[in-house]
Structure 1
């Protein structure tokens, strides 16, 4: 569900908004899971970083130029935001479950391999139905290969290693760096435009990450 909702959110709402909603709301959901299921107290430092992060992703989302949504009506945008919230919920559940497995002695590589491998098998029917475009050009195949090797395999393998030393709420908060990078790539590579409000949001996201990093180092 997570990858389908995440990429569909970017399709309907735009790269910046889709990424911001999907990743930006995940830390709060992960913290709620830890609070109710693991009885973990949340520190004031985490709340401070979370507030900076949420303000940052909200301002970044508001700062996106509406010009990039030409041809996409408002209902599609709202649907994309809804899918982003679905992605955030399933992403938080995945992070929390992976952390539980690792804490119970399962190797991080085994935990991530089982979760991602199982998810890949479930997703295969969507490939059979909609995957015809992958074979239309070598460029499509190369992009798909890159997505498999770098963001999916390497990215989530490193995420699993990170879960060995930090809890799920902090790990998902640190991934707020993703919408920041996505916004920069969207500006540089895709031609999306961000106003001064969006740039302030980027700064707040950076402050959020810096606070958490300093806390972990301490």
Structure 2
């Protein structure tokens, strides 16, 4: 298969996954009586089990290879377990748009640091320019929130929400890096993602004993929980793992800047969150950042044929 074509296919898969993830905040808002910890634990936990079931054949084949890298495996699984708890709590405290923006915007920065410090990979000028443009766009999007919009949380709680968003960005970059590292050493993308998420499920699902009181209290809550687990978590991460077969974690996380754009549009059109002109200028900059990453693809980002998704 042509390398340029396979790289484009990987990018497209991550773009679709980002659209699916962009719906999570809006969907979760329809279950306000459910703890964000429960929503995160259930969606990521059940999604992880589905990934394991879907990839069980490849997982059995690659298990020994993955267990030969216990630090990478455990680090990635820990990041998967922490990410949804921080992410959904951040959105509950700061609003869907801001929570998503902060969580996703910080991920490329942390991913690049991991690639540079651990994998010793070079940060290109194209990436740096794209990141600066994306960071400025994210800042404008955050500052562009209409002042007449209110949240039922204190300023301190919103600050905690932003900090949790940064933690979500760090852990998102962490498990993206871990999955990519496993793929680079010979594991199939399905095996890498399902292995990380399966291990995280061992922690996330038992936590529902303490947080999941209202998770199934109504048909709406049940629908929200099942949608979150099956569509953005299971299907989204199948696509994300496929994309990581072809491109680096730092580039993958930068492409997912499209997620906060989707989340913002849904938050404005459905939930009534409001932004002024400067916020929409920020959204445009993030879009340009995405285009810079997708219009120029480097051939060296494609792995050998034996690592292709199957």
Q: 1:67 & 1:148 partners in 2: Cα distance? A: 34
Q: 1:186 & 1:6 partners in 2: Cα distance? A: 16
Q: Which residue of 2 aligns with 1:168?
A: 249
Q: 1:79 & 1:164 partners in 2: Cα distance? A: 35
Q: Report the CA distance between 1:70 and its aligned residue.
A: 3.2
Q: How many residues align?
A: 218
Q: Which residue of 1 aligns with 2:220?
A: 139
Q: 1:113 & 1:65 partners in 2: Cα distance? A: 40
Q: 2:269 & 2:214 partners in 1: Cα distance? A: 26
Q: Which residue of 1 aligns with 2:194?
A: 113
In the alignment, structure 1 segments of 5+ residues that lack a partner are none
Tell me which protein shows more helix as a share of its residues.
1
Q: Which residue of 2 aligns with 1:180?
A: 261
Residue 152 (1) aligns with residue 233 (2): yes
Cα root mean square deviation, aligned: 1.2
Q: Which residue of 1 aligns with 2:156?
A: 75
Q: 1:147 & 1:32 partners in 2: Cα distance? A: 30
Cα deviations across residues 158-212 of structure 1 (Å, max 9, x unaligned)?
1111111110100000000000100000001101001101100110011000000
Cα deviations across residues 71-129 of structure 1 (Å, max 9, x unaligned)?
21110110000101111111111000000001111111111111112112211232111
Q: Report the CA distance between 1:132 and its aligned residue.
A: 1.7
Residue 92 to residue 183, structure 1, CA distance change in 2 (3 Å): same
Q: Report the CA distance between 1:217 and its aligned residue.
A: 7.1
TM-score, normalised via structure 2 length = 0.69
Identify the range of structure 1 (19-28 vs 119-128) with the bigger mean alpha-carbon deviation: 119-128
The equivalent position to 1:100 in structure 2, one of 175, 181, 206, is 181
The 3-state SS of whatever aligns with 1:135 is coil
The structure number with the bigger radius of gyration is: 2
TM-score, normalised via structure 1 length = 0.97
Q: 1:64 & 1:153 partners in 2: Cα distance? A: 32
The equivalent position to 1:17 in structure 2, one of 82, 98, 102, is 98
Q: 1:210 & 1:21 partners in 2: Cα distance? A: 20
The equivalent position to 2:291 in structure 1, one of 207, 210, 214, is 210
Residue 49 (1) aligns with residue 139 (2): no
Cα deviations across residues 36-85 of structure 1 (Å, max 9, x unaligned)?
11111111111111111111111111111244333211101100001011
In the alignment, structure 2 segments of 5+ residues that lack a partner are 1-81, 300-310
Is the 2:177–2:249 contact (alpha carbons within 8 Å) kept by the matching residues of 1?
A: yes
Q: 1:200 & 1:139 partners in 2: Cα distance? A: 35
